[in-house]
Amino acid sequence: MNTLALRSWAGDKRDRLRRQIAHTSRPAWLVAVAVIVFAAVFGSLGVRNQRNFGTWAYDMGIYDQAIWLLSRGHAFISVRGMNFWGHHFNPLLLLFVPFYWLGAGPSFLYVVQACVLGLGGVPVYLIARDKFKNPWMGLLFTVAYLMYAPVQWISWAMFHPEALVITPFLFAWWFATKERWGWFFAMVLLALSTREDTALAVIMMGLVLLVYMRNAPDYRRVVNRCVGVIVLAAVWYVGYTKLMLPYFNDGKEPFYITLFYGNYGDSTPAIVSEIVRHPNRVVSDAVQPDRLTFYKQMSWPMGWLYLANPLGLLMALPQLLASVIGQSPYARMIRYQYTSVMIAPMMIASIHGAFVFWKFKVARTVLPIWLLLCSYTTNVAWSPSPLNDTPSGYGVWSGYHPRHDSLRIALTYIPDDASVSASYQLGPHISHRLHIYDWPNPFWASVWGNDDCAHIPDPTTVDYIALDLSQIGEGRNRTLFENMVKVGGPFEPVYMDDNVIVAKRVGTSPEVDVRPQQDSCQELALRHGSG
């Protein structure tokens, strides 16, 4: 291509871009601004949370160490006591590896998560714009999505790969409705790569699309694509949970099967059988007060509009059922990442539910007011946004405190290659190493592996302990700590003040440095982060 032709080609590109910009509607520009504001606000709050020790080993330390390990060719997550591929199936995290070569860490994860969550406003806009044939309705639902309290809480609750499922799931739906199947499958693969159980929602999406697109001109092609995605998701889920995960997890099923659903059975078939044979148990669980509160807080921000389109809500059913029957109370709170897989289906169902009322003239006025009112009031009442200026709202974001200075100084006394057992708020700040344990691991097992002491290392291999003195606790942990640092004990303080202690191993002591007995591994707690 000669210089004249190159200039002509570049000029054509510029003219085409100018025309596209000129024809971009005002609501679309406002959507772009809203997405940027969301990403900037919650990304910066996440960075602040990390810098001010507002994150925990569960789960920020788990995923930060996991990605760092992958970037160095390792896979055993010492924070969790499990192989990365035996914990969850999150191949999406491989995309983060190059950034970890350049020094990325928890703050980077917070920013990426906020950006991807915010970007979900774009497919919401596209879905609503096309459904209503009105870009202003697209903007309305985008605002409702970005103000949705569960979305904003996900941006606070550390980093979780499944939080990234919302945006590709929404895009997959929009591409399917446009019959752009190549992009549809690309988005489905991104959604599947966030976590293994998102496959269940993808299966339901395929089934729902079969009904939703039954009037498509080339319905046979729709059927082929939907059946294809159902088969893909089913193979993905079964292949990982029955083959790959047991291979990396000592032959066991996913750890969360017994941890969260042990009340229904000790294996997936047993749990499914119990649900089918005793549906009354599910109904009884589903109407407990905490579940009713959960339904309310998930539904009011969207004005309960999904009730007019229950078909779309079926895509959220697998995760909703898991939240209803599970033993972990955190799985049915809008403050945590467990809502991630439910949010995209709820948005889709709410958009289609709202359209049911659109044929009534009065709805053209009432519906936007109703949705904005519900979004705003519930955000003020239940979200962690600046609009909810309460200790349980915006106050959850960690701010600066003078004691943080001593914590930062203390951590500088730990060599980069040392093996460390640290209290949970210090862990995410020193997790870029092969051996970092959540105190009191590995001195005895607490939320470790499969609750069977497998792979727990010899405690004498720990070089340093780093403990926030307010987080040591009482009883057994306090006794362990005092025996460690007493005169003649195995650890000697190298830094200590009223807030924190960093102690270096100087010897061994059988009184405290012994492998935990098997029965101590039964202390596994139902902590929200382990899921």
| pLDDT higher than 50, residue 530 | no
Confidence tier at 1 by pLDDT (50, 70, 90)? low
pLDDT digits 0-9 by tens, 327-385:
999 999 999 999 999 999 999 999 999 999 998 999 999 999 999 999 999 999 999 99
**Dihedral sign from CA coordinates of 457, 460, 463, 469:** positive
pLDDT digits 0-9 by tens, 12-32:
666 565 655 555 689 999 999
Of the candidates 158, 248, 163, 234, which has an alpha carbon nearest to the alpha carbon of residue 203?
234
> Helices marked H in 74-134 — which ranges?
84-87, 97-101, 106-119, 121-132
Q: Which amino acid is at 178?
A: K
Q: What is the pTM of this model?
A: 0.92
Residue 473: predicted pLDDT: 81
Cis peptide before 289 (omega within 30 of 0): no
Residue 252: predicted pLDDT: 84
> Helices marked H in 193-266 — which ranges?
198-212, 219-239, 245-248, 255-261
Q: What CA–CA distances, in Å, run from 24 to 19, 88, 144?
A: 9, 41, 21
Average pLDDT in the chain: 91
| pLDDT higher than 50, residue 518 | no
| pLDDT higher than 70, residue 448 | yes
The answer to whether 504 touches 466, Cβ cutoff 8 Å, is no
Residue 304: predicted pLDDT: 97
Confidence tier at 509 by pLDDT (50, 70, 90)? low
Of the candidates 17, 36, 19, 74, which has an alpha carbon nearest to the alpha carbon of residue 435?
74
Q: Which amino acid is at 160?
A: H
The answer to whether 345 touches 127, Cβ cutoff 8 Å, is no
What are the φ and ψ backbone dihedral angles of 468, each rounded to 5 degrees?
-70, 120
| pLDDT higher than 60, residue 525 | no
Cis peptide before 442 (omega within 30 of 0): yes
